[in-house]
Amino acid sequence: MIIDGRELEARWWGPGPDQAATLVLLHEGLGSVALWRDFPEVLAAATGCGVLAYSRFGYGASDPVTLPRPMSYMHDEALEVLPRVLDAAGLRRAALIGHSDGGSIAAIYAGAVRDPRVVGVVMLAAHFFVEDLNIASIRGIKETYEHGDLRVRLARYHRDVDVAFRGWNDAWLDFRFREFDITAQVAQIQVPVLALQGADDPYGSDEQLRVLERAVRCSIETRLIDDARHSPHLEAREATMQAIVPFIRSVLMEATV
C-alpha cells in the first residue's frame, strides 16, 4: 500500500470491502503485521468479515521514519495516517481493533473523526493515560532489549529493529510523555466500544478500564481477561474471541438497521 509516496506493509484476510465489512487491526508499540500471528485469520473466519492489518511506518516491512518520534506520534498516526489507510483500502464499513498503542490510536480517531464507515471500536490493552506501572515496565523492556535477546527476536519482524524499538521506547520514557492523556478524546466517541485488558497486564492497571468507563458516553463494554497479560488476543484467545465476535456482529447489525 502506498501512502503519501511511501510504502506501507499491509495484508488482507477474508472478503474484500465490496463483499463484507472490514476489521482494521492497529498493532502495539512494538508490533507489525506478522506479530498479530494467526489472529487475523481466526478473526476473519469467526466473523465473516475481511481483516486488514498494516505495519505503521517504522515497523515491519514498512518504510522507516526519522527519530525521535514526536510526543504526539499517536495523535499523528490517528489523524494523519489512519484516514489515508482507510481511503487507500477502499473501505465501506469497518470496525477498528487496536492493541496497546494501536488501541489508543483507534480511540483518538473514533473520538476526533465522525467517519460514517466506522461502526465500532475494540481496544485491547489500550492506554488512556500514563501510569507508574506502565513506565516501570517500559524501562524494564529497555534493559531486555539492550542486554538480553529481545533485539534479536524483534529483528525477525522489523526491517530496522532499532527504529521500531527506539521510536516507541524513547518516546514513552521521555519525561514529556507523562502528559499523555486521551480521556477527553475518548469522551467524544459516538460508536459502540469494547475494551479488553489482561488481568495481569504489566503495562497498565485496570484503572485504565475504569477511566474509560467514566469518560465514554456511548455504548461501552469492558472486560478483564483472566490468565492474560498484555496480549489477551494471543494469551487467552478463547475468552477474547468470545467477547469480540458477538460485539462485532452486534455493531454490524445495528449499522444496517
What residue ranges define each of the domains in the chain, with the CATH number in brackets?
2-256 (3.40.50.1820)
pLDDT of 257: 42
The DSSP annotation for 120-186 comes to EEEEES--SB--HHHHHHHHHHHHHHHHSSHHHHHTTT-SSHHHHHHHHHHHHHSGGGGG-B-HHHH
pLDDT of 228-252, one tens digit each? Answer: 999 999 999 999 999 999 999 999 9
Could you tell me the pLDDT band of residue 119, with boundaries at 50, 70 and 90?
Answer: very high
Radius of gyration of the chain (CA): 17
pLDDT of 178-191, one tens digit each? Answer: 999 999 999 999 99
Please check the confidence at residue 255 and state whether its pLDDT lies above 90: no
Q: How far apart are CA 200 and CA 49, in angstroms?
A: 30
Percent of the chain with pLDDT over 90: 98
Give me the chain's average pLDDT, please: 96
pLDDT of 167-177, one tens digit each? Answer: 999 999 999 99
- Dig out the grid coordinates for 106 from the structure: 483507534
pLDDT of 64-109, one tens digit each? Answer: 999 999 999 999 999 999 999 999 999 999 999 999 999 999 999 9
Q: Which residue from 132, 131, 110 is spatially nearest to 121, judged by alpha carbons?
A: 110
Q: Which residue from 114, 39, 104 is spatially nearest to 72, judged by alpha carbons?
A: 104
Chain centre distance of CA 50: 17
Q: Please, what is the angle between helix 161-173 and helix 132-147, to 10°?
A: 150
pLDDT of 5-26, one tens digit each? Answer: 999 999 999 999 999 999 999 9
Which of left, alpha, beta for 58 (phi over 0: left; psi -120 to 50: alpha)? Answer: left
Q: Report CA-CA distances (Å) from 111 to 116, 117, 199, 216.
A: 13, 14, 26, 10
Q: Which residue from 207, 192, 32 is spatially nearest to 102, judged by alpha carbons?
A: 32
Backbone angles phi, psi at 236, to 5 degrees: -140, 65
Q: Which residue from 28, 45, 166 is spatially nearest to 100, judged by alpha carbons?
A: 28
